[in-house]
Amino acid sequence: MSSELTRILLAEDQGMMRGALALLLGLEEDMEIVAQVGSGDDILPQALRTRPDIALLDIELPGRSGLDAAADLRVRLPECRVLILTTFGRPGYLRRAMEAGASGFLVKDGPVEDLAAAIRRVLAGERVIDPALAAAALSAGPNPLTQRERDVLSAAVDGATVVDIAAKVHLSPATVRNYLSAAIGKTGTRNRMEAVRAARQNGWL
């Protein structure tokens, strides 16, 4: 009877990965994929429609990010557990995931068997987090960048010049340079490219 199957929502942008995971989990006796989405914007609507027990969310999605969607679910569908499934084990991601109320955080590097196991553990009320990653997240400390610094740094990816950034963020070029300088200082780097890289690495963007 269907009430015994755990209902799963799967959000993942890469079609092949999504399909493969869906097929895989479909093979498990006690699981059922009730929704597959490839965009972050579809997560909440589909979740509200299909009422899954657990949502498997990638972080980097077109549209709304998986972390934002996790926060949405926390509010609008609190009985639905969230398991973040991501390529990048970035400390800041893990931190934000926990703050958004996720019950687990899994990187795609591990073996597939981990996935079903993690789902079962989350359903049982456990929190699933890679210990090494948790340590890294704690030792890295919280995000040192202010909102504006993040804005400016985000706008600085892929080579925008100071005036470009200024236009994008509606600030004076002089101010932009000040924020960039601050971000460079806080990340302990030597220029904006390194700063962007460091911030990305830590999941601070």
120 binds DNA per the rule CB under 7 A: no
CB of 94 within 8 A of CB of 69? no
175 binds, among DNA, a copy of itself, none (CB under 5 to 8 A by kind): DNA
Nearest CA to 85 out of 8, 154, 157 is that of 8
C-alpha closest to that of 143 among 194, 90, 104, 80: 90
Nearer to a copy of itself, 110 or 142 (CB): 110
Choose, by CB under 7 A, the member of 1, 27, 124, 174 that binds DNA.
174
8 Å CB contact between 59 and 67 = yes
Check binding of 87 to DNA (CB under 7 A).
Answer: no
Radius of gyration of the chain from Cα atoms? 19
Q: Does 121 bind DNA (CB under 7 A)?
A: no
- The residue among 67 and 115 lying less far from a copy of itself, judged by its C-beta, is 115
Between 18 and 95, CB nearer to DNA: 95
Min CB(49)–a copy of itself separation in Å = 22
The CA distance from 108 to 127, in Å, is 17
Shortest separation between residue 27's beta carbon and a copy of itself, angstroms: 8
Among 31, 56, 149, 187, binds DNA (CB under 7 A): 149
In this structure, are residues 12 and 38 in contact, taking their beta carbons and an 8 Å threshold? yes
Q: How far does Cα 180 stand from its chain's mean position?
A: 25
Residue from 120, 148, 197, 200 that binds DNA (CB under 7 A)?
148
Distance CA 92, CA 77 (A): 24
Q: How far is the CB of 17 from a copy of itself (least distance, A)?
A: 6
For residues 30 and 2, the answer to whether their CB atoms sit within 8 Å is no
Nearer Cβ to a copy of itself, position 79 or 158? Answer: 158
Binding site for DNA (CB under 7 A): 146-149, 161-163, 171-175, 177-178, 180-181, 184-185, 190-193
